[in-house]
């Protein structure tokens, strides 16, 4: 990992960083320098923040959606290898955190979350990422007890004909190579946009020089067309294809295929009348074809010496109709209907050499259908006072299509819920108060408080992929009910930006995943399995982000996040909660140059509940504290070109995220108790925008 080329890169970067103060003497003073390297995301609105994924940032994320969220206060990522981690917000993962790509749902195929929705997202191909924390919206699908993440593309109508080009190249340690071209022709009447990406990396090493089974390769292609005959009308159609492979250090198989095919159509009409501000219609199709095997990216060994492969897939279709009304000048009402259907199937071979899985018929195991009706109202009742509220009702149906429940790779039993269907009518809602305390330029201050309630239907990984303590079927497991209070304060002036927020909730019938559970097996034997069960739980936490401009060319950033929880049913801590974390950055910026230092401090986590957690992972032990120091620098030689470079984990710290997965026994690799993060990582990136 520590090659001569990397050493030369590090010396050059450090030399450039150290020379920046000297350049400041000769440079003209600037009062509005561009922030070339983004290391944190400021909260601009109550419980809502927006970031530009095309801007470079540190630490350098993997080329997927989960790692890109990691720099936002409150987010963590469950590491399984070099890519395709599972995002966690405020200690909540899976369907508690809704992920939407251009308004559409992507549901993976793997029974054990090898391919979460963010595994199919290439952030730099998008124009903005918006996060809404807590159950404080009902406009983006059901559940959402932790929040919503919206990965979106720009839809502005250009005033004149133009070409847009965004291209980037990246090289880094562990053979990291990324490339992207995002090109668009835009005119007032129509637009055409195409994007291609490629990203790959070899196995990385941790701070001790131990190699982690983690290499990956990914690619994607997207083509979109938009017709905009006037200022108020937009019809767009897009199609996406992507694929990849990824080595996993936490399990006995790797991801040999992550294929996705997608079609999305949307119609938007603005300014329909004085009452109707906009009407939107959308429909989409997503098909995910996933392969897990033990021979493409590793050599079969031990008890799994035969070549084995599993090929789950999922087809998801959905859409919505939404309307925004303005009954009066101080009021805005949004109402809509959304629906989704997904069908999951699988096929597998325990001896690929003798029976190729591709020649086998697929067997469907579950079909989920959801239809929801929602509305949100925003009203300014007095100067500086705003009320927001909303409610939704969702009709759910799931049909268990399994004749048998597979207990292991070699055994199965009759499914007691075979062919049965379950329906539920679930409700969610919220209300929030916002008060502008100060709004005279250049400062502003806002205080807010909101209460949200969310009923979440059990997802595929809780209901179909797991069993309960007294049955091999979890079809009757209760749905989850979350009641949460969110409060916060926002402040802005010329030099200071500050946001502090806190939350506390109660979760009735929390869906807890428990591994290592002993159940009676055949012939009086005991078998160990993973179950789902309902508990009563609570969680609470605080998040803060501060930005302060120390001088014309100096700025600083501080983010802090902490979450705790309790399992009231078992009188223990709630499992899979990240520890207290702080991120401190100091940056020096000129008109064409920038340099920065980033310090991340992670507290030890000793509050654990071994073997319990969520669908993405369970607690495996305590975690030590860690401090990670990183450097970055940027140079803009011409307006269209930005060059950045950095050293992540400068001191080569050996550490693991608390919610990281445990290591598996893999031939040719050291056995890891927990998957450590990469050691010292050097990278350089060039971005060209025209």
DSSP string, 445-466: EEEEEEEEEEEE---HHHHTS-
Cis ω on the peptide bond leading into residue 682 (within 30° of 0)? no
Q: What is the pLDDT of residue 35?
A: 61
Pure H helices in 27-169: 65-68
Condensed to tens digits (0 to 9), the pLDDT of residues 670-689 reads 988 999 999 999 999 999 99
Pick from 252-256, 388-392, 434-438: least confident: 434-438
What percentage of the chain has pLDDT greater than the value 70? 94
Residue among 303, 384, 311 at smallest CA distance from 346: 311
Q: Say how far apart CA 114 and CA 109 lie, in whole Å.
A: 8
Average pLDDT score over residue span 213-236:
97
Question: Which range of residues forms the domain containing residue 415?
Answer: 4-689
Q: Are 320 and 338 in contact (CB under 8 A)?
A: yes
Three-state secondary structure of 368-411: EEEEEEEEEEEEEEECCEEEEEEEEEEEEEEEECCCEEECCCCC
Q: What is the pLDDT of residue 570?
A: 97
What CATH number did the domain enclosing 478 receive?
A: 2.40.170.20
Phi-psi region of 303 (alpha: psi -120 to 50; beta: other; left: phi over 0): alpha
> DSSP class of residue 355?
S
Task: Answer whether residue 511 shows pLDDT above 90.
Answer: yes
Q: Say how far apart CA 120 and CA 138 lie, in whole Å.
A: 24
Residue among 62, 37, 41, 59 at smallest CA distance from 51: 41
Report, in this order, helix, strand and coil percent for the chain, each rounded to 5. 5, 55, 35
Condensed to tens digits (0 to 9), the pLDDT of residues 157-208 reads 988 999 999 999 999 999 999 999 999 999 999 999 999 999 999 999 999 9
A 10 A CB-CB count for 157 gives 18
Q: Are 54 and 123 in contact (CB under 8 A)?
A: no
Q: Return the bridge partners of 392, or none.
A: 374, 428
Q: What is the pLDDT of residue 17?
A: 36
Pure H helices in 262-337: none
Backbone angles phi, psi at 323, to 5 degrees: -140, 135
> DSSP class of residue 46?
T
Q: Say how far apart CA 308 and CA 276 lie, in whole Å.
A: 57
Q: Say how far apart CA 85 and CA 314 lie, in whole Å.
A: 19
Q: What is the pLDDT of residue 270?
A: 96
Number of structural domains found in the chain? 1
Task: Answer whether residue 23 shows pLDDT above 90.
Answer: no
Condensed to tens digits (0 to 9), the pLDDT of residues 409-418 reads 778 899 999 9
pLDDT band at 407 (very low <50, low <70, confident <90, very high): confident
Q: Are 591 and 36 in contact (CB under 8 A)?
A: no
Q: Say how far apart CA 169 and CA 383 lie, in whole Å.
A: 49
> DSSP class of residue 301?
B
> Got the DSSP string for 192-255?
EEEEEEEEEE---B-TT--B-S--EEEEEEEEEEEE-SSTTEEEEEEEEEEEEEE-BSSSS-EE
Q: What is the pLDDT of residue 628?
A: 97
Q: Say how far apart CA 301 and CA 532 lie, in whole Å.
A: 31
Q: Return the bridge partners of 45, or none.
A: 48
The answer to whether the Cα torsion of 603, 604, 607, 612 is positive or negative is positive
Residue among 498, 502, 383 at smallest CA distance from 445: 498
Q: Which residue has the tokens 């409700």?
A: 427
Average pLDDT score over residue span 230-254:
96
Q: What is the pLDDT of residue 132?
A: 96
Residue among 445, 336, 330, 442 at smallest CA distance from 387: 330
Condensed to tens digits (0 to 9), the pLDDT of residues 25-73 reads 333 333 333 566 776 677 888 999 999 999 888 888 878 999 889 888 8
The answer to whether the Cα torsion of 349, 108, 122, 236 is positive or negative is positive
Average pLDDT score over residue span 587-594:
93
Task: Give strand ranges (E) for 271-351.
Answer: 276-293, 309-310, 313-328, 331-346, 348-349
Condensed to tens digits (0 to 9), the pLDDT of residues 259-278 reads 999 999 999 999 999 999 99
Q: Which residue has the tokens 């030399």?
A: 15
Residue 589's Cβ-side half-sphere holds a number of Cα atoms within 13 Å equal to 21
Q: Say how far apart CA 94 and CA 456 lie, in whole Å.
A: 11
Q: Say how far apart CA 446 and CA 517 lie, in whole Å.
A: 48
Cis ω on the peptide bond leading into residue 379 (within 30° of 0)? no
pLDDT band at 375 (very low <50, low <70, confident <90, very high): very high
A 10 A CB-CB count for 459 gives 19
Average pLDDT score over residue span 323-333:
94
Condensed to tens digits (0 to 9), the pLDDT of residues 461-485 reads 999 999 999 999 999 999 999 999 9
Task: Answer whether residue 305 shows pLDDT above 90.
Answer: no
For the chain, the average pLDDT equals 91
CA distances from 395 to 147, 339, 390, 422, 602 (A): 20, 9, 17, 11, 42
pLDDT band at 238 (very low <50, low <70, confident <90, very high): very high
Residue among 270, 372, 275 at smallest CA distance from 320: 372
Question: What pTM did the predictor assign?
Answer: 0.92
Q: Say how far apart CA 664 and CA 81 lie, in whole Å.
A: 11
Task: Answer whether residue 22 shows pLDDT above 80.
Answer: no
Q: What is the pLDDT of residue 56?
A: 85
Residue 137's Cβ-side half-sphere holds a number of Cα atoms within 13 Å equal to 19
Q: Say how far apart CA 495 and CA 59 lie, in whole Å.
A: 25
Q: Which residue has the tokens 């991801």?
A: 255
Q: What is the pLDDT of residue 34?
A: 53
């Amino acid at each position: 990992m520590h090659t001569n080329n990397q050493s030369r890169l590090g010396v050059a970067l450090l030399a450039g960083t150290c020379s920046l103060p000297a350049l400041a003497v000769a440079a003209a003073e600037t009062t509005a320098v561009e922030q070339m390297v983004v290391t944190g995301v400021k909260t601009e609105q109550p419980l809502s923040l927006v970031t530009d994924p095309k801007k470079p940032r540190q630490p350098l994320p993997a080329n997927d959606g989960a790692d890109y969220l990691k720099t936002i206060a409150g987010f963590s990522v469950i590491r399984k290898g070099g890519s395709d981690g599972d995002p966690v917000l405020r200690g909540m993962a899976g369907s508690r955190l809704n992920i939407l790509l251009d308004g559409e749902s992507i549901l993976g195929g793997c029974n054990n979350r090898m391919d979460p929705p963010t595994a199919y997202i290439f952030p730099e191909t998008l124009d903005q990422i918006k996060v809404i924390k807590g159950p404080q919206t009902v406009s983006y699908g059901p559940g959402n007890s932790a929040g919503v993440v919206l990965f979106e593309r720009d839809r502005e109508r250009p005033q004149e004909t133009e070409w847009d080009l965004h291209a980037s190249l990246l090289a880094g340690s562990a053979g990291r190579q990324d490339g992207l071209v995002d090109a668009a022709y835009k005119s007032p009447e129509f637009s055409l946009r195409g994007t291609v990406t490629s990203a790959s990396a070899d196995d990385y090493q941790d701070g001790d020089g131990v190699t982690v089974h983690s290499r990956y390769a990914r690619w994607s292609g997207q083509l979109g067309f938009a017709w905009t005959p006037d200022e108020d009308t937009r019809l767009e159609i897009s199609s996406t294809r992507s694929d990849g492979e990824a080595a996993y250090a936490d399990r006995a198989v790797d991801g040999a295929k992550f294929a996705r095919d997608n079609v999305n159509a949307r119609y938007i009409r603005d300014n329909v009348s004085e009452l109707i501000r906009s009407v939107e219609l959308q429909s989409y199709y997503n098909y995910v074809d996933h392969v897990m095997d033990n021979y493409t990216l590793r050599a079969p060994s031990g008890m799994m010496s035969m070549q084995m492969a599993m090929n789950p897939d999922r087809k998801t279709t959905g859409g919505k109709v939404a309307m925004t009304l303005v009954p009066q000048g101080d009021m805005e009402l949004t109402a809509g209907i959304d629906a989704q259907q997904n069908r999951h199937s699988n096929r597998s071979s325990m001896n690929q050499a003798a029976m190729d899985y591709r020649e086998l018929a697929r067997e469907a195991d579950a079909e989920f259908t959801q239809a929801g009706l929602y509305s949100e109202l925003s009203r300014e009742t007095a100067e500086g006072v705003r009320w927001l509220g909303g409610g939704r009702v969702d009709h759910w149906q799931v049909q268990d299509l399994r004749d048998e429940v597979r207990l292991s790779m070699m055994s199965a039993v009759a499914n007691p819920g075979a062919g049965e269907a379950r329906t539920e009518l679930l409700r969610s809602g919220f209300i929030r108060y916002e008060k502008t305390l100060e709004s005279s330029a250049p400062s502003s201050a806002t205080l807010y408080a909101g209460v949200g309630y969310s009923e979440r239907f059990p997802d595929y990984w809780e209901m179909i992929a797991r069993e309960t303590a007294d049955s091999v079927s979890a079809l009757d497991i209760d749905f989850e009910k979350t009641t949460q209070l969110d409060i916060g304060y926002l402040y802005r002036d010329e030099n200071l930006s500050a946001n502090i927020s806190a939350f506390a909730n109660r979760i009735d019938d929390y869906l807890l995943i428990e591994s290592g559970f002993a159940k009676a097996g055949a012939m009086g034997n005991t078998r160990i399995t993973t179950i789902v069960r309902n508990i009563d739980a609570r969680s609470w936490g605080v998040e803060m982000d501060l930005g302060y401009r120390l001088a014309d060319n100096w700025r600083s950033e501080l983010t802090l996040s902490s979450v705790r929880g309790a399992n009231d049913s078992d009188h223990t801590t709630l499992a899979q909660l990240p520890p207290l974390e702080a991120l401190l950055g100091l940056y020096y910026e000129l008109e064409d140059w920038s340099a920065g230092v980033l310090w991340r401090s992670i507290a030890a986590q000793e509050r654990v509940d071994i073997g319990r957690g969520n669908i993405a992972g369970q607690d495996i032990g305590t975690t030590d504290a860690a401090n990670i120091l990183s450097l970055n620098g940027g140079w803009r030689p011409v307006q269209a070109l930005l060059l950045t470079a950095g050293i992540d984990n400068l001191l080569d710290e050996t550490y693991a995220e608390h919610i990281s997965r445990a290591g598996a026994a893999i031939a040719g690799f050291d056995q890891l108790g927990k998957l450590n993060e990469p050691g010292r990582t050097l990278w350089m990136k060039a971005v060209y925008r025209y």
